[in-house]
Each structure stands twice: as structure tokens, then as C-alpha cells.
Amino acid sequence: MNSTEAVASSATSKSAQTRQRILDAAAEVLSRKGYAGTRLSDVAQVAGVQAPAIYYYFSSRDELVEEVMWVGANRVRLHLAEVLAALPEDTSCMDRLMVAVDAHLRFELQLSHYATASIRNAGHVPEQLRIRPAAEEALYSRLWRELFAEAQQAGEVRADLDINMFRLLLLGAMNWVVEWWNPRTRSLDELVATAQAMVRTGAGAV
């Protein structure tokens, strides 16, 4: 095995898998219990290791938390970018917004504890842990700003609407869902449809 192969295979080596298990466990616990309620012992238990083993992969609890937050913000952004890129060229601006709402909600509620952890704890972790995740969130915001700006320029969003504030309110509505969502009692399709209605007939030109 040469060094190139070593690097390539390292992604699935036992070591890398353990690191991944720990990171996944941290994301799950953080999304469920929040920053204040997350013990390293909880994370270790979910990951199936003893707490000190975490220090073989992360230099501190905060570094672990920071990485979860960054991965969460990063994945949400990449997911949305991917979904938007896959749309036909002639998709209308409003339809793009609808797809974005759909993608954001389904990703945060179904696909990623990282996203949930990132959203719930963004405002609750120490300042220094927010720097790298905040950069990702800024890029994510830019995607949404562009969607709204283009929709407004195309006349598909009312010209007199403050799209910056509307965007912040909409993302807030969708982010807050993690605080009350219960997959057993609510339909995700219904949620997506309602959120889309909030935008379409809320921001759409008559």
C-alpha cells in the first residue's frame, strides 16, 4: 500500500470510522439536548467508547462541538446548492424558492442531526465556537438572498416587500421548527406545503 492509497483508504479506515461515530454521536446528542445539556459521557456512550477516547480525535469538547456546528452549516448549504443546481434552467424564481423551502425543511428534519444541532445551538455556544460556522451560515444566507433578489427583480415577489427582513423571518420560521417538530404527530408534506404557502401567497405578486 503506497502513501496515496493510504490517504485514500484512510477515509474508511477503522480509525476514521471511530472518529465519524464520535462526531455523529455528538451531533445527535447536541441536536437533542443542546449545548448546555451535552455531556462528553453522553456522546461517548452513544458512540460506544469511553469518554477519554474522544481526546484521541478531538483536542477538547469545544472543538468537537465546533466541528459538528460547522459540518451542519456546511451540509445544509451544499445540499441546497446541489438541489438548486439540479433544477431545469427555465425554472421560475418562485418555484426555486419553493424548492428551497422544501429542501431546507426536509434536510433539517429528516436527513441531518448536524443541521439540527447547528441550528439549535448557534446562539448558545461560546463566541469563539461561532466563527467558522458563522462563515458557512453567511454563505447560506447569500444563496437565499440571491433567490429573493432574483424573484423580486423578475416581478414574482412584490416590489415593495423588504426581502431581507422577509428572508430572515422565513428562515426563522423554518429554523424554529426544530423546537416543536414531532414527526409522529405531524406530516412533513403538510409542513412543507404550509411553509411554501407562507412564502408564495405572502411574498408573491398578486
Partner DNA sequence: CTGGGATTCTAACCCATATTAGATTCCACC
Partner DNA sequence: GGTGGAATCTAATATGGGTTAGAATCCCAG
- Among positions 25, 80, 157, 199, the unique one binding a second copy when judged by CB under 8 A: 199
Query: By C-alpha distance, which of 134, 143, 55, 137 is closest to 97?
Result: 143
Least distance between DNA and beta carbon 9 (Å): 9
Place of cell 427583480: 153
Q: Which of 18, 20, 45, 141 binds DNA (CB under 7 A)?
A: 18
Nearest approach in angstroms of CB 122 to DNA is 19
What's the Cα-to-Cα distance from 49 to each of 41, 46, 52, 59, 66, rounded to whole Å? 9, 8, 8, 16, 20
- Write out 185-198 in H/E/C secondary structure: CCCHHHHHHHHHHH
Site for a second copy in 120-139 (CB under 8 A): 120, 122-126
Count of residues touching DNA (by CB under 7 A): 21
Residue 52 interacting with DNA (CB under 7 A): yes
Of 5 and 90, nearer to DNA (C-beta) is 5
Identify the residue among 49, 111, 143, 161 touching DNA (CB under 7 A). 49
The C-alpha cell that represents 90 in the structure block: 427555465
